[in-house]
Structure 1
Amino acid sequence: MRNELSGAMLGLGIAAFVDETVFHQLLHWHHFYDGSTPAAGLVSDGVFHAFSWFCTVAALFLFADLRRRRVYSGPRWWGGLLTGAGAFQLYDGTIQHKLLGLHQIRYDVDVAPYDWAWNIVAVALLAAGVVLLARSRRTAVAA
């Protein structure tokens, strides 16, 4: 379970880092919270970035412990990473974008193609992770 947890936390951290870096900082498409002033948006980005950084650091500590104890399982870890990245992205695209309305991917354009692309990538990552985890569990049971 620690393999999956370490991978999932790093997957979440990577997905959040890419979102923050590309869509918040480089493209300036949105902030984590766009319901207030630009200053509040920047603060929300900082909190979001800190959260993703803490997940990344914690994941790497868990990873180092897995390696130290010689219980690292590549398929389980990578399955966790893909599942974590996909779950974060799907949560962001459905809960944060649509249900809570914290922000949209872009503004002043038709967001439907962006939403579809965002969520299709999320489902693909999530599905790949779940398949990898299921295969690694079947292999472990058969061994």
Structure 2
Amino acid sequence: MADQDRRTLLAGALLGAGIAASVVDLAVFHLLLHWHHFYDLSTTGVALASDGLFHAFGWFVTVGSLFLLADVRRRGAVSWGRWTGGLLAGLGAFQLFDGVVLHKVLRIHQIRYDVDLLVYDATWIGTALLALAAGLVLLRRTRPARPARPGR
């Protein structure tokens, strides 16, 4: 049962990270808005190549999560509350890593250029924290009951 729960959480977390990478970051900020590329410290060609690699990674994670979810379903019932908690936590954790490590620490790209970044960073990191917190709360509320120990 514990293995089924771990696999359920991992399937949700990976899908959350894949959605954050492929849909939120790449599709919206890279392709639709043209605000940045995955790696903005070189030429446009390198930036576009980095977007392609990032896109491939995001879809690899997304598809892998769906295969894992199918395997979880094959093994037994899926706790959709646990899976959803994992998805929100994975999405939030990925966005938080991106906003803090990639944007601020490594500075390989920013959300947007030639603007005051404070509002953008606060929104990016704030929504990441909200998604992560919502996922962790949901995971806590849907935690399976521990079996009673003999002799207690």
TM class by smaller structure = over 0.9
Letter in 2 for 1:13: G
- How many aligned residue pairs are there? 142
Report what 1:42 is aligned to.
48
Determine the C-alpha separation between the residues in 2 that align with 1:142 and 1:128. 26
* TM-score relative to the length of structure 1: 0.96
Indicate yes or no: 2:77 matched with 1:89: no
Report what 1:107 is aligned to.
113
Counterpart of 2:142 in 1: which secondary structure? helix
**1:70-81 mapped onto 2 (5 Å cutoff):** 70-81=76-87
**Equivalent position to 1:128, from 124, 134, 144:** 134
Q: By how many angstroms is 1:141 displaced?
A: 3.1
Report what 1:29 is aligned to.
35
Report what 1:68 is aligned to.
74
Counterpart of 1:32 in 2: which secondary structure? coil
Structure 2 runs not aligned, ≥5 long? 1-5
Residues 64 and 119 of structure 1, relative CA distance in 2, 3 Å threshold: same
Q: By how many angstroms is 1:25 displaced?
A: 0.5
Structure 1 runs not aligned, ≥5 long? none
Q: Once the two structures are superposed, what CA deviation does each residue of 1:34-73 show, in whole Å capped at 9, x if it has no partner? A: 0000110000000100111000011000111111112311
Higher helix share: 1
Counterpart of 2:145 in 1: which secondary structure? helix
* TM-score relative to the length of structure 2: 0.90
Letter in 2 for 1:42: L
Determine the C-alpha separation between the residues in 2 that align with 1:132 and 1:98. 29
Letter in 2 for 1:7: G
Letter in 1 for 2:9: E
Report what 2:16 is aligned to.
11
Give the stretch that moved more between structures: 66-75 or 93-102: 66-75
